[in-house]
Amino acid sequence: MSAVEESLPLSRRDARQARTGRTRRKRGWLAFFRDIVVIVIIALIVSFVVKSFVVRSFYIPSGSMENTLKENDRILVDELSPRFTGYHRGDIVVFRDPGGWLPPEAAVDRGPIAAAGEWVLSLVGLAAPDSSEHLVKRVIGLPGDHVVCCDAAGRIEVNGTPLDESAYVKLSPGRSTPKEIEFDVTVPEGSLWVMGDNRDHSRDSRLNMDQPSKGFVPLDGVVGRVFLRTWPLDRFGGLGSDGNAFLGVPGRDRS
């Protein structure tokens, strides 16, 4: 204690010490809140980078990929590794509408608070408000592949080899093979040919050959490869490629 403080009356000395204590506590709380804000900002930046370049969340808006994926399932999409490994036949991929694949969507007014909250969550990959603007399908043909429907047994052929897709294709009741929609295409460079697992109820490459994309999906419109189902919890698990259906198909097995 300084000589000046010793000379002050007791009440004034106590008041000064009380003010000093309040000032220190105030500075302590300000430092605490500053640290919290910095941590939150760093977490948001890291989450944004992860969402933009590494992993992204989507929900499934339709039943076109049943039984592999069901309507309202939540999935995670790997955006990073395909940049190095490319895509393979059998991969499940999410891609932007190449144009005309999806019907026009009526605008839904969720209110400013809900819209703002969803926008913030979308920045960090915890919400997927644009899921309805994307599609999810299975890669059947890579650039250069000759894909044909169908052989005498109703099977898709890739480069002359019939596929055994029984592990993932959903059949309609009373049918042993999906409905045949005839096509004979060669996948151009920089594109994919994709089909839904629920073959009889999927507006995929086969049904969009009259669109500007001619049924092909540009690689630069592919978000990434689906690798995990996160919801519902009772079906939580990995979703790797099913390459067994393409064993024996000649030609490169990556885009």
137 counts as catalytic: yes
Radius of gyration of the chain (CA): 28
Residue 217: which of 132, 101, 69, 103 has the closest Cα?
A: 101
**Separation CA 112–CA 254 (nearest Å):** 44
Cβ atoms within 10 Å of 26's Cβ, excluding its own: 10
Number of H helices, E strands in the chain: 4, 12
Residue of 57, 62, 64, 213 marked catalytic = 64
- Cα angle, residue 255 at apex, residues 159 and 52 outer, rounded to 5°: 150
**Separation CA 161–CA 184 (nearest Å):** 14
E strands, 69-214, in order: 74-78, 92-96, 134-141, 146-149, 157-158, 161-162, 183-186, 191-195
Strands 217-218 and 74-78: unpaired
Active-site residue numbers? 64, 137
